[in-house]
Amino acid sequence: MSIRMFRDRSEDELEARLRRSRPTPRAEFSDQLLSRIQPREERPGSLRFVVAVAMTVGAFSVFGAFGGIGYAAKAVSATAHGIASVATPSSGLQTNGNGHGHGPTTTNGQSGTNGNGGNGGNSGSNSANNTSNTNSANGNGPGPPSGPGNQCPPGTHGEPAGSTNCVANGAGAGNCGQNQSGNTGQGAGNGGNDNGTGNSDACSPSGNQYGGKTTICHRTESDTNPFVLITVDNSALPAHKAHGDTLPNPDGSCPGPEIVL
Amino acid sequence: MAKDPLANPKPLMERTYAYVAYRIGAGPEAEDVTSEVFEQALRYRHTYDASRGEPISWLIGIARRCIARSLAARPPQSAPVDDGVGATTADLAGEALDRIELQQALMRLPERDRELLALRYGSDLTAREIGRVLDLTTNAAEVALHRALARLRSELLEPGPASGVRVSADPVL
């Protein structure tokens, strides 16, 4: 036991001596060698971060100065809107109503002319915003007769036969078509009124195609054929009236009653 | 990014030099071998695989090959012995003498013992790392170290007849 302890102690002393006497390189050699070993130096992380932030701010400044940010935001918004419209299931028909409001072509006269009520806008199912706004309340059909002496068509509006007290058409609420912005159009395709001057859909450029015209008896100064039926724009009625034109009679014969402006 | 084996080169250089000096003797030749080791390390630093050991083990592997080449090229002669160049003052005279005596005793040992002691006390490898370098088990490396220390002790207490330094040119690889 004691021998082993002596051995261990002597071994420890020898080990310590070996470690203590470990050869060391000369300082010049050490410096020279270390100078040749270039450790990979890394830039401080803080400096890297500052450079990154500065470049980001600079880029945003340039974009902001030239309107790039607003342009980008607009593009992003449009893209998002497009994606939403694609991703969202559409319902209903895709037929945007063009609002063909067929206005009346006749006005009432003394003898009463049945005017067709203006058709409301076509039923439009505007799917852009997925509201499926299918409009069933189109403009009304044939307007009631108006004017004294006229009789309602039997059963058309539920009036008693022979009655002159016709029920006015209601106002149809047609959608206004051609809604490119995706909003639900609630254009009023009005039904024809008692006078048969149904307003057509004012939203559509084609909706008022015939709404502002009147058929009149145009004086020709001819002895054999003194009047001809023509259809003119309402804005021209004063001039035609001054010229001596009249409205046609209910049966279409000329001359008829005086043009009422 | 792979670990750079030379990220902290100073202690690696000191341990490598100590290993080389224990093997072939301190002095210019040990410096040359150490320089060669680090030149190789710089050239092949990208091949270092951290999963196979610490950077010092990798460097010692390079050093062993460099030493083998150096010993093979060396003509039969006495090994250089630390002449105490590192001791710059008279106060260090005793330490320098002690170092010289130890160096001479080491050079009288068989190459294998010198290799083991250089790995353990020069490059500060553990018994496990020594076993990996020499392809031994840890236990076998410990036993071999123990025997090498015993022989060194004998040399220090009773210098052998061939007190002159002998250096084997046969590398222990």
Put simply, the answer to whether A15 touches B30 (Cβ < 8 Å) is: no
B165 assigned to some structural domain? no
Q: Residue B59: which of B47, B73, B69, B76 has the closest Cα?
A: B47
Query: How far is the C-alpha of A185 from the C-alpha of A177, rounded, in Å?
Result: 7
What one-character DSSP code corresponds to residue B92?
G
Query: What's the total number of domains in chain B?
Result: 1
Burial of residue A35, with CB atoms counted within 10 A of its CB: 0-12 exposed, 13-18 middle, 19 or more buried: exposed
- The alpha-carbon gap from A79 to the nearest alpha carbon of chain B, in Å, equals 39
Cβ–Cβ < 8 Å for A150, A159? no
B170 assigned to some structural domain? no
End-to-end CA distance of chain B: 32
Full domain range(s) for residue B25: 9-157
- pLDDT computed for residue B119 by the predictor: 94
Q: From residue A60, how far is each of A54, A63, A73, B95 by CA, in Å?
A: 10, 5, 13, 69
- pLDDT computed for residue B162 by the predictor: 46
Query: How far is the C-alpha of B143 from the C-alpha of A59, rounded, in Å?
Result: 68
B173 assigned to some structural domain? no
End-to-end CA distance of chain A: 139
Query: How far is the C-alpha of B118 from the C-alpha of B132, rounded, in Å?
Result: 15
Buried b (16+ CB within 10 A) or exposed e, A145-166: bbbeebbbeeebbebeeeebeb
Residue B13 touches chain A, beta carbons under 8 Å? yes
Query: How far is the C-alpha of B69 from the C-alpha of B23, rounded, in Å?
Result: 13
Q: What is the pLDDT along chain B (173 residues), one digit of tens a residue?
A: 567 898 889 999 999 999 999 999 888 999 999 999 999 999 998 999 998 889 999 999 999 999 999 888 877 655 555 554 544 555 567 777 888 888 889 989 999 999 999 999 999 999 999 999 999 999 999 999 999 999 999 998 876 554 444 444 444 44
B114 assigned to some structural domain? yes
Put simply, the answer to whether A14 touches B22 (Cβ < 8 Å) is: no
B84: Cβ contacts below 8 Å, ≥ 6 apart: B92, B93, B96, B97, B99, B100
Angle between helices B138-157 and A2-20 (to 10 degrees): 90
Q: Which two tokens stand for residue A219?
A: 């004086």
Cβ–Cβ < 8 Å for A231, A215? yes
Of A21, A25, A30, the CB nearest to B102: A21
Of A19, A25, A39, the CB nearest to B121: A19
- pLDDT computed for residue A87 by the predictor: 65
For A76, what's the count of Cα atoms within 13 Å in the CB-facing half-sphere? 6
Put simply, the answer to whether A33 touches B99 (Cβ < 8 Å) is: no
Q: What is the pTM of this model?
A: 0.45
Put simply, the answer to whether B9 touches A37 (Cβ < 8 Å) is: yes
Q: What is the pLDDT along chain A (261 residues), one digit of tens a residue?
A: 444 554 556 668 888 888 888 888 999 999 989 888 865 555 555 677 778 888 888 887 877 777 777 777 777 788 887 777 666 654 433 333 333 434 343 333 333 334 343 443 343 333 333 333 333 334 444 444 444 444 545 544 444 555 555 444 444 444 443 334 334 334 343 443 444 343 444 444 433 444 588 889 888 888 888 888 898 888 888 888 888 899 999 888 888 888 887
Cis peptide before A255 (omega within 30 of 0): yes
Interface predicted TM-score (ipTM): 0.77
Put simply, the answer to whether B26 touches A34 (Cβ < 8 Å) is: no
B162 assigned to some structural domain? no
B3 assigned to some structural domain? no
